[in-house]
Chain A
Amino acid sequence: MQKTSQSEISILVSMGTCGLAAGTEPVYNSLKNEIRNRNLATKIEIIETGCMGLCHSEPSIEVIDNRTAKSIIYGDVKGSDASKIIESGTAKAAGIKVIERGWYYPEDENNTKNVLQARIALRNTGRINPKKIEHYIVRSGYQALKKALFQMTPAEVISEIRKSGLRGRGGGGFSTGRKWSFAAAEKSNTKYVICNADEGDPGAFMDRAVLEGDPHSILEAMTIAGYAIGATNGIIYVRAEYPLAIKRLQNAITQGQANNFLGNNILDSSFNFNIEIRYGAGAFVCGEETALIHSIEGLRGTPTFRPPFPAVSGLWKKPTIVNNVETFANICAIIRKGAEWFNKIGAENSPGTKVFALAGKIKKVGLIEVPIGISMRDIIYKIGDGICDNKKLKAVQAGGPSGGCITADHIDIPINYDTLKSLGSMMGSGGIIVMDEDNCMVNIAKFFLEFTVEESCGKCTPCRIGGKQMLMILKRFTEGKGKKGDIKQLHHLAKVIKSTSLCGLGMTAPNPVLSTLRYFSEEYREHIYDKKCRAGKCSSLIAYLIDSDKCVGCGICAKICPVNCISGEPKESHIIDDDKCIKCGQCINKCRFNAINKI
């Protein structure tokens, strides 16, 4: 690993949004104080980094001995651990959780064989201080830009990206090189490079980690893209919900300009490129490229029909390429190391790696980057360490509200763009939500549909009205009012919406419903005909019942019930009035005798 420091010891402290929320700042301050008090500032350096992806054990830190490259990663660190950590160096400090090295291969840009995780897009995230450009430069920063500007023609850059086989990592999976070639072929004095940083998929936080932890990699990649297609203007469209990412990017742009990596005559070449930031404002649909373009234009973010594609006529009708953050995060590595290197990683029709955000009922939640082609089983059980509380895996949702679920029967299939699609799911932007036996699949389908109905821009009828009709049917299921013919109606609506919607949001909105119908039809039938919710989630279909054998009449449940629907004499078994019960679950939480059940 390239050294970013002259100190003997470096302590990397993971301070992305997750780390900060988990309480990393007190840890950082304690370590700093401890170093100062012991006069060790010349020997030990603390580096505030972006997200290491170890979200399951935040606050997390890594202690590295720069002389030997030996290191140790700690998780669930507290401020009070600071002195122990400083004293132990890279030997294990007692009483602090150690994260095993195998889970996390930050150096893996070089070492991508036979490992579960391989970090290309996340090569610097969690390794460097994103506020210091010198950290980025020392780790081959701006080498790719130098190579592109002085050793390659624009056509050669595009050819290299095409040969690499890189596909859009935002979910579309379109060949990045091909997209660039379309824009390059257009004759126009003005062209645009747009970075889509509007990561709106609930459950996805891959792009956030890169933007916060390695902002220069995006700027460098966009500049290379500008050179390749003949653009001098770059725009990063960031969602407003990512204030730390915005701050890091603004800082990086200022540094880039000051160091001649942005602006006029970059690195004393004749190439000019400027980047500005534009903000989203809470509209999921603006992740769709035409809606995003209209949002930058200051309009309501409604998509428009393609063709013409943005590469031909995009922002202010000029040729524009729109690429996802993770797509850009791969560019510099590909230019530096070559398309052939990239081709050797991942799958044949989808080379490279994919960053996944693991969340839900899995033990090791966090950010991982794996070669495409890995199985879901390896992700869930080898990397994610299995399901929480040893519950049974029920479903894995991938691709956000546009994707679908796969079941435990499918988890050995290698993941790539095409295999997941054939199963009714999709790789999407990379959010993976793991569900167990306590999740109701009908309720989950309803949740996703509620999201897409709310986020629908309203322009086209199939999405605006069709989505709502599907949602009304699902709501009936969860309220015990489903009826014969509803499922047929759902299929019919889904078919119409998918084939006639204006944009990807509408076209993919029925997917969660379709995939849950495909694999969990029994659960739907139970909701409709038996008026039963086996997971106990749909409150209209469950009743809370006090077991008279276990109830000791302590009265705690009656006291905390917000609607006073529990009655009984002291020391006698209590009863719940089902008509008044709002199924809030407070009584179950408070009962010390496990006497209350959901049926």
Chain B
Amino acid sequence: MKCSNTCSKKSDILQKQPEKTAELNRYINSLPIGSDINKNRGLLISTLHEAQRIFGYLPQEVQLLTAEKLRLNLSDVYGVISFYSFFTTEPKGKYKIDICLGTACFVKGADKILEEFENKLGLKDGETSKDLMFSLGGLRCVGACSLAPVVLVNDKVYANVTLDCVDNILKECNN
């Protein structure tokens, strides 16, 4: 599939970040890509995870690169990205704040914690601040239910979070 006309920014992001592009290419080149399209397709989700780890999100340029290398259609790639909540086509903030909204956290008031973060950050669930410092989201259960309510900031897990903790968590980010 050739897609030469649709995106005027085709090489923009990839060209501006050559090390990241090279890293992704190295990863893809290590995969057993062959002529069996179905088996190639089986490598798609792992590749998207790696691409998002490298770039932070999955802009169209990265989607095109992935599609070309795995010999899939762009629609295949985009269809998968739009289905799975882990993948994002928008850049996230430096601090990705996720409030666990699983059942155990919910019965312990996680919805109020989310509201508090929304008030303090001026963001709604799913939004990223304009300065790309913070993203706010709700997660559906990270499996630390005994420590409910749980908040994640990037990889750090905060346990037994109360409304009073919200300010401290934000202070830690700003430091």
Provide the residues of chain A in CB contact with B119, threshold 8 Å: 562, 584
Please report the C-alpha to C-alpha distance between residue A367 and residue B104 in the assembled complex, in whole angstroms: 13
Provide the residues of chain B in CB contact with A448, threshold 8 Å: 103
| Partner of B142 from A241, A361, A454 at Cβ < 8 Å | A241
- CB pair B146–A55 under 8 Å, yes or no, is yes
Residue from A278, A298, A448, A585 with most neighbouring chain B CB atoms (10 Å): A298
- Complex interface bits, B136-158 against A, C-beta within 8 A gives 1, otherwise 0: 00011111111110100001011
Q: Does A215 contact B (CB under 8 A)?
A: no
Provide the residues of chain B in CB contact with A361, threshold 8 Å: 107-108
Q: How large is the interface on A (under 10, 10 to 19, 20 to 34, 35 or more residues)?
A: 35 or more
- CB pair A241–B49 under 8 Å, yes or no, is no
Provide the residues of chain B in CB contact with A22, threshold 8 Å: 147, 159
CB-CB under 8 A for A21 and B145, given A281-B48, A451-B140: no
- CB pair B143–A242 under 8 Å, yes or no, is yes
| Partner of A202 from B102, B108, B157 at Cβ < 8 Å | B102
Provide the residues of chain B in CB contact with A278, threshold 8 Å: 42, 45-46
Q: How large is the interface on B (under 10, 10 to 19, 20 to 34, 35 or more residues)?
A: 35 or more
Provide the residues of chain A in CB contact with B103, threshold 8 Å: 202-203, 359-360, 397, 400-401, 431, 433, 447-448
Q: Does A1 contact B (CB under 8 A)?
A: no
B29 to chain A minimum Cβ distance, whole angstroms, is 18
| Partner of A282 from B41, B44, B86 at Cβ < 8 Å | B86
**Taking CB as reference atom, which chain A residue is nearest B163?**
A589
A102 to chain B minimum Cβ distance, whole angstroms, is 19
- CB pair B115–A298 under 8 Å, yes or no, is no
Provide the residues of chain A in CB contact with B139, threshold 8 Å: 241
CB-CB under 8 A for A300 and B79, given A243-B155, A359-B148: yes
Q: Which residues of B77-113 are within 8 A (CB) of A?
A: 79-80, 83-87, 101-108, 112
Q: Which residues of A396-423 are within 8 A (CB) of B?
A: 397, 400-401
Q: Does B6 contact A (CB under 8 A)?
A: no
Provide the residues of chain A in CB contact with B48, threshold 8 Å: 281
User: In terms of DSSP, what is the predominant structure of the interface of chain A?
Assistant: mixed
Provide the residues of chain B in CB contact with A243, threshold 8 Å: 155
A438 to chain B minimum Cβ distance, whole angstroms, is 9
- Complex interface bits, A424-467 against B, C-beta within 8 A gives 1, otherwise 0: 00000001010100010000100110010011010000000000
Residue from B46, B141, B157, B159 with most neighbouring chain A CB atoms (10 Å): B141
Q: Which residues of A258-279 are within 8 A (CB) of B?
A: 278-279
Please report the C-alpha to C-alpha distance between residue A586 and residue B46 in the assembled complex, in whole angstroms: 44
Q: Does A481 contact B (CB under 8 A)?
A: no
**Taking CB as reference atom, which chain A residue is nearest B43?**
A298
Q: Does B174 contact A (CB under 8 A)?
A: no
Please report the C-alpha to C-alpha distance between residue A584 and residue B101 in the assembled complex, in whole angstroms: 18
| Partner of B141 from A55, A204, A297, A366 at Cβ < 8 Å | A204
Q: Does A152 contact B (CB under 8 A)?
A: no
Please report the C-alpha to C-alpha distance between residue A205 and residue B103 in the assembled complex, in whole angstroms: 12
B108 to chain A minimum Cβ distance, whole angstroms, is 7
Q: Which residues of B155-174 are within 8 A (CB) of A?
A: 155, 157-159, 163
- CB pair B145–A203 under 8 Å, yes or no, is yes
CB-CB under 8 A for A200 and B141, given A281-B87, A359-B104: yes
- CB pair A241–B143 under 8 Å, yes or no, is yes
CB-CB under 8 A for A281 and B157, given A22-B147, A584-B115: no
Provide the residues of chain A in CB contact with B142, threshold 8 Å: 17, 241
Q: Does A199 contact B (CB under 8 A)?
A: yes
CB-CB under 8 A for A279 and B140, given A21-B157, A298-B44, A300-B80: no
Q: Does B38 contact A (CB under 8 A)?
A: yes
Provide the residues of chain A in CB contact with B42, threshold 8 Å: 278, 296-298
Residue from A58, A241, A243, A284 with most neighbouring chain B CB atoms (10 Å): A241
Provide the residues of chain B in CB contact with A200, threshold 8 Å: 140-141
Please report the C-alpha to C-alpha distance between residue A448 and residue B84 in the assembled complex, in whole angstroms: 20
Please report the C-alpha to C-alpha distance between residue A261 and residue B158 in the assembled complex, in whole angstroms: 38
Provide the residues of chain A in CB contact with B107, threshold 8 Å: 360-361, 433, 435, 439, 444
B69 to chain A minimum Cβ distance, whole angstroms, is 13
Please report the C-alpha to C-alpha distance between residue A357 and residue B107 in the assembled complex, in whole angstroms: 15
Please report the C-alpha to C-alpha distance between residue A300 and residue B45 in the assembled complex, in whole angstroms: 10
- CB pair B49–A21 under 8 Å, yes or no, is no
Provide the residues of chain B in CB contact with A56, threshold 8 Å: 146
Q: Name 18 extra pairs, CB < 8 A, besides A365-B146, A584-B112.
A: A18-B146, A18-B159, A20-B157, A201-B141, A202-B145, A203-B104, A204-B145, A205-B144, A241-B139, A241-B143, A295-B45, A297-B41, A298-B80, A300-B83, A316-B39, A358-B146, A360-B107, A361-B108
Query: Closest 9 interchain pairs by CB?
Result: A55-B146, A202-B102, A281-B84, A298-B41, A359-B104, A21-B157, A282-B86, A202-B141, A282-B85
Q: List 26 A-B contacts (CB under 8 A).
A: A17-B143, A21-B147, A21-B158, A202-B141, A203-B141, A204-B141, A204-B145, A205-B143, A240-B49, A278-B46, A279-B45, A282-B84, A282-B140, A284-B140, A295-B45, A298-B41, A298-B44, A357-B145, A359-B145, A359-B146, A360-B148, A431-B104, A433-B104, A454-B140, A584-B112, A584-B119
